[in-house]
Amino acid sequence: MLAEELRQMGVGDARMDQHGYVYGSIPAKGEGARPAIGLIAHMDTSDGVVGKTTPRIVKDYDGGPIPLANGVVIDGFDFLPSLKGMDLVVTSGDSVLGADDKAGVAEIMTLCERMTAPNAPDHGKICIAFTPDEEIGRGADLFDVPGFGADYGYTVDGGPLGELEYECFNAASCRVRVKGVNIHPGSAKNQMKNACLIAMEYAGMLPPWERPEHTEGYEGFYHLNAMRGDEEAAELRYIIRDHDAGVFEERKATALRVGEYLNRKYGEGTVTVELKDSYRNMKEIVEQHPEILEKAKEAFRACGVEPVVCPIRGGTDGARLSYMGLPCPNLSTGGYNYHGRKELIPVQSLEKMVDVLEALVTRA
Alpha helices in 166-325 (DSSP H): 195-205, 245-266, 283-286, 290-302, 317-323
The single residue of 100, 134, 242, 355 carrying the catalytic annotation is 134
**Class of residue 151 by CB neighbours under 10 A (exposed 0-12, middle 13-18, buried 19+):** middle
Residue 141: what residue type? D
Distance CA 278, CA 261 (A): 26
Q: Is 134 a catalytic residue?
A: yes
CB 164, CB 309: distance < 8 Å: yes
Q: How many CA atoms lie within 13 A of 212 on its CB side?
A: 10
Q: How many Cβ atoms are within 10 Å of 28's Cβ, its own excluded?
A: 17
3-state secondary structure of 252: helix
To which H or E segment does residue 175 belong? strand 170-179
CB 307, CB 164: distance < 8 Å: yes
Distances in Å between the Cα of 213 and the Cα atoms of 109, 151, 208 are: 35, 38, 10
Distance CA 167, CA 171 (A): 12
Residue 345: what residue type? I
- Write the DSSP symbol of residue 306: -
Distance CA 118, CA 50 (A): 43
CB 36, CB 124: distance < 8 Å: yes
CB 124, CB 32: distance < 8 Å: no
CA angle 209, 213, 219 (to 5 degrees): 65
Distance CA 338, CA 113 (A): 26
Name the phi and psi angles at 346, rounded to 5.
-75, 140
Question: Looking at the annotation, which residues are catalytic?
Answer: 44, 134
